[in-house]
Amino acid sequence: MSKEKILVLGSNGKTGRRVIERLEKVQNIEIRRGSRNEKIPFDWEKPATWNSVLQNIDSVYITFQPDLAIPIAVDSIQKFTKLATELGVQKMVLLSGRGEKEAQLCEEIVKQNAQNWTIVRASWFSQNFSESFFLEPILAGIVALPRAKALEPFTDADDIADVVTASLLENKHNGQTYELTGPGLLTFEQAVNEIAKASGKNITFQSLTLEEYIQMLREYQVPDDHIWLVNYLFEQVLDGRNAHITSDIEKVLGRKAKDFSAYAKETAKTGIWNP
Ligand SMILES: NC(=O)c1ccc[n+]([C@@H]2O[C@H](COP(=O)([O-])OP(=O)(O)OC[C@H]3O[C@@H](n4cnc5c(N)ncnc54)[C@H](OP(=O)(O)O)[C@@H]3O)[C@@H](O)[C@H]2O)c1
């Protein structure tokens, strides 16, 4: 029997790395890592790299960089998915952002261009606090953020990876759009307090206006395109539209989604917040 060949984009990223860990345990699968640092490199900013990485691939897990909300995403997703189907790809699983109008345009493109598809629309990842932009402020002991009252159902990247892996491997997920959330709603302050409790670290939360936050990022010389994205996420996506939970993780996996305090306890044990 010939092996099914799966391309995982963002193979070193929060979800891609976890999807690979899961696929490695499955027999008759050949994995290709989509990274700028592989022998056959993949770079969203260099369309010339796309053809080689898509050769002889059956299924693709698509994670776009930095976010499907950025203006160029629609054009990149259109070109990438069209090329993938032309080269024989049979199935695409797209990681999308919950409540992002622009991301949903990209979902429609995938639905049009893919032979088979599953959309995995996720809310904010818990791992943003340990593997991404909130790690540094946590290590510094002070997290200053706008939208202090916004409620978000933080989702664990392990749950997302489980749903993505099932979607890549099982045909019953074809044509489905899953909206993934954790089991409860938390404010950023509550999330930070959970981390403080689990890690035993003193972490102060400071509530800012969006304008003060953007000004702070400018003072830290954060690049303009990153500031644009942060502004978009805090202004538009955290306006209350996502402040409700779904049961799609349980529907797909037959078990409850991991809650934030379990994530905080597990992650604290790794020592990442107390290096
Ligand atoms: N974070 C959240 O809360 C959240 C919520 C919902 C949806 N999302 C969506 O999740 C997607 C990101 O997925 P993720 O969090 O699993 O990945 P991630 O952790 O953001 O992935 C980071 C990896 O992307 C690769 N990368 C960076 N620039 C690249 C480029 N130009 N071309 C190709 N690869 C590049 C880098 O790997 P190499 O150095 O190896 O190339 C890097 O290790 C985004 O589209 C985002 O909108 C995120």
Residue 35 has pLDDT above 80, yes or no: yes
Two tokens, residue 146: 């706008």
Q: Is residue 95 part of a domain?
A: yes
Residue 125, strand partner residues: 155
Q: Which of 65, 107, 134, 263 to mutate to test the pocket of ligand 1 (most atoms within 8 A of CB)?
A: 65
What's the confidence (pLDDT) of residue 1?
67
Q: Is residue 86 part of a domain?
A: yes
Percentage with pLDDT > 70 across the chain:
100
Three-state SS at 30:
strand
For residue 105, what is the domain's CATH number?
A: 3.40.50.720
What total of structural domains would you count in the chain?
A: 1
Which ligand 1 atom lies nearest to the CA of residue 42?
Answer: 33
Q: Is residue 132 part of a domain?
A: no
Give the position of tokens 């805090």: 234
Confidence of residue 162 (pLDDT cuts 50, 70, 90): very high
Cα(223)–Cα(130) distance, integer angstroms: 21
Q: Is residue 117 part of a domain?
A: yes
Q: Is the pTM of this model over 0.95?
A: yes
Cα(109)–Cα(75) distance, integer angstroms: 10
What are 93-144's pLDDT values in tens digits?
A: 999 999 999 999 999 999 999 999 999 999 999 999 999 989 999 999 999 9
Confidence of residue 145 (pLDDT cuts 50, 70, 90): very high
Q: Identify residue 253 by its one-letter amino acid code.
A: L
The boundaries of the domain holding residue 48 are 4-121+157-181+244-255
Q: Is residue 223 part of a domain?
A: no
Give the position of tokens 């260099």: 46
Contact 264, 200 (CB under 8 A): no
Region 26-35 average pLDDT: 97
Cα(143)–Cα(157) distance, integer angstroms: 21
Give the position of tokens 């049009």: 112
**Spacing, Cα 61 to ligand 1 middle (Å):** 12
- State whether the beta carbon of 68 lies less than 6 angstroms from ligand 1: yes
The chain-wide mean pLDDT, for the chain, equals 96
Two tokens, residue 46: 């260099």
Measured CA to CA in angstroms, residue 45 lies from 66, 120, 143, 160 at distances of 11, 23, 32, 25
Q: Is residue 143 part of a domain?
A: no
